Structure 1
Amino acid sequence: MLVEEVMKTELMTLTPTATIADAHQLFQNYHIRHIPIVNAEMQLVGIVSDRDIRDASPSVFDDHTDHKTLNNELYSIMSYPVKTVHPLDFVEEIAQVFYEGKFSCLPVVRDNQLIGIITEKDMLYTLIQLTGTNVHQSSQIEIKVPHKPGILPEVASVFGQRRTNITSVLVYPYNDDPNYKILVFRIQTMNPLPVIQDLRNAGYELMWPNNIAEPKV
């Protein structure tokens, strides 16, 4: 899945010469957490978060605070340079950028022009879509398999024999053993018992569900 498929394109932006009060008003009106700071050519020059504004704003409990600080320009508190991503980057890959950089949002830039923004919430929603957990009446099955070529279609054929619709497939390592992988299938059925039995009959080791007893003959 590409960044351009999940990014927000309706952006609230300000210029570096806008004031802290201007940004505070935008945060209140639109319930957003980040404002990209751009120049006249819509080139990204910085970013301001709601936390930046809170830290820079005078306390409402202090009668002696100089409220003129709200007239300070945003270039004085904005973060720069800004880490950005491209609209054709894969969401799965920029997830690592979010994790390693501890970012809560990343502006999307193409040809030096700001065209969108992607947030932690967008990433979480995308994960839900990729794993198929948003599909109603679905079940999850996890299978330990040898790490060898052709194992995925081999296992998937068991579902095909039951004409079971697979809504998502994930592959991840099995502990620290490079000889095995875990295949996670989400299938569109509320009764996975028949296909679970088929998998067991085919000799596959189920990690989940692993507590459903085989039916008595």
Structure 2
Amino acid sequence: MLVEEIMKKDVITLEPHHTIKQALELLNKYHIRHIPIVNEHHSVVGIISDRDIRDAAPSTLEKNQNQETLNHQVSSIMTSPVITVHPLDFIEEIASIFYEHEIACVPVTKDNQIVGIVTEKDLLYTLIQLTGIHEQSSQIEIKVPNKVGMLPEITQIIGERKINISSVFIYPYDQDRTQKIIVLRIQTMNPMPLIDQLKNRGYEVLWPNIPGLSP
């Protein structure tokens, strides 16, 4: 899946000369947590978060605190330079960027102009959709040898039972790198006959591990 499929295109932005007060008003009005800062060419030159603004703004508990801070320009608190992504990047790449740089938002740029924004909430929602967990389905986990052809063997068995597959994930088995785990979400609320058939054919089903099914 590409970034352009999940990004928000209506991006609220400010320019460096705008004030912290104006930024605070936008956060409250649109219920957002990040505002990209752009120049007159709509190129991203910085970004501010709700935390940046909270740290800079006077406390609501201190009425006598210097309110002049709110009139400072956002350029004084923005983060720059900014990590950006392209609309044709893959969402897996964004997940890696969020993790490695410990950020929660990336502006999307094309031809050096802002065209969208993606937040960690957008990414998490998309990943949930990709897992198929929002559909009526069942999850099974199968440990198999880490060799070519194992996934087609498993999917062939599922196909024999006329069951649709919502999603497939594969990851290494931590205790033995010669093995891997295939995680499938299948569109059936009764996976027992399939689990029984997998075990009869010699596959080790880790989840659900139902006592009494064929070994």
Per the normalisation by structure 1, the TM-score is: 0.95
Aligned to 2:195: 196
Give aligned-pair identity as a percent.
58
Deviation sequence 1:103-148 (CA, Å, 0-9, x none): 111111111111111111011111101211111x200000001111
Matches within 5 A, 1:90-169: 90-135=90-135, 137-169=136-168
Aligned to 2:21: 21
Partner-residue secondary structure (3-state), 2:178: strand
5+ residue gaps in structure 2?
Answer: none
Q: Confirm or deny that 1:206 pairs with 2:205.
A: yes
5+ residue gaps in structure 1?
Answer: none
Q: Which runs of 4+ in 1 moved over 3 A?
A: none
Cα 1:90/1:212, change in 2 over 3 Å = farther
RMSD: 1.1
Q: Confirm or deny that 1:38 pairs with 2:10.
A: no
Per the normalisation by structure 2, the TM-score is: 0.96
Partner-residue secondary structure (3-state), 2:156: helix
Cα 1:138/1:32, change in 2 over 3 Å = same
Q: Residue type of the partner of 1:211?
A: I
Q: How far 1:211 moved relative to its partner?
A: 2.7
Q: Residue type of the partner of 2:154?
A: V
Q: How far 1:199 moved relative to its partner?
A: 0.6
Q: Residue type of the partner of 2:206?
A: M
Deviation sequence 1:50-74 (CA, Å, 0-9, x none): 1111111112222331211111111
Aligned to 1:10: 10
Question: CA–CA distance in 1 between the matches of 2:65 and 2:74?
Answer: 19
Count how many residue pairs are aligned between Structure 1 and Structure 2.
214
